[in-house]
Amino acid sequence: MSNETKRGSALPSAQEGWPLLATLAAILTVAALAAFASTGGSDGIRMAIRLTARTSLALFLLAFTASALFRVCPNPWTRWQLRNRRQLGLGFAVSHLLHAIAIIALAVTDPKLFADLGGPNMLPGGGSAYLVIAAMAATSFDRTAALIGPVAWRRLHLFGAWYIWLSFMIAFGMRARLDMAYWPFMAALLGACALRLIFSKSPSFPLLRR
């Protein structure tokens, strides 16, 4: 990381590095539980599913666009985003883990509703995305990244970043056909794609950098 990205950080330690990840994990967990507790039962689980889908998207986009945004507009925010993109990416993994837990909870507690919502049909694609996320998260630490080597690590994170982006496009695109409220999410995904392709140093710039 360049010296430029390290300058000008006046943020509290809880908003930097590993304390940031711990803060994100705590906030995400409390928010998901609050969403469930707001109504309870299947409706509460569905609220937690929707909430964690949105938090996952937000954190993914922050990590996905970090390098491109810094090159377009270097400022204190984009410097912070670039410095902490590994933690933002791992925060996305935590959010999506909570999302998976909520989906499993719905399948177990209300299998009929789960089937009516098309849950079983989404398992193959969704399951493969979770495998990719798990592989990227597991290799987002210096020791595990060193075990697979820099070439394999870069290929994994290049493929994974775009696979996750495509998974979001499909998931939110299916809903956008029926509900205009999902159109802004689609616009954000398309904008992030264009931003990264045009302004990143390389389209292969990884999502979860060491």
Domain extent listing, the chain: 13-199
Summarised one tens digit per residue, pLDDT across range 122-153 is: 665 567 899 999 999 999 999 999 999 999 99
Residue type, 24: L
**With 80 as the cut, is the pLDDT of residue 68 above it?**
yes
User: Of all helices (H) and strands (E), which one includes residue 166?
Assistant: helix 150-176
Token pair, residue 103, equals: 């989906």
* Pairwise CA distance, residues 182 & 204, whole Å: 28
Q: Tokens 């590994």 appear where? A: 86
Averaged pLDDT of the chain:
87
Residue type, 108: V
* Pairwise CA distance, residues 128 & 111, whole Å: 22
CA 51, 56, 59, 61 dihedral sign is negative
State the pLDDT at residue 116. Answer: 82
**With 70 as the cut, is the pLDDT of residue 3 above it?**
no
Average pLDDT over residues 48-73: 95
State the pLDDT at residue 125. Answer: 56
* Residue-wise DSSP of 7-24: TT--S-GGGSHHHHHHHH
Candidate ranges 54-58, 172-176, 200-204; pick with highest mean pLDDT: 54-58
State the pLDDT at residue 122. Answer: 61
* Pairwise CA distance, residues 99 & 1, whole Å: 32
Could you tell me the pTM of the whole model?
Answer: 0.86
Phi, psi dihedrals of residue 15, rounded to the nearest 5°: -105, 20
Token pair, residue 86, equals: 């590994």
Average pLDDT over residues 11-33: 88
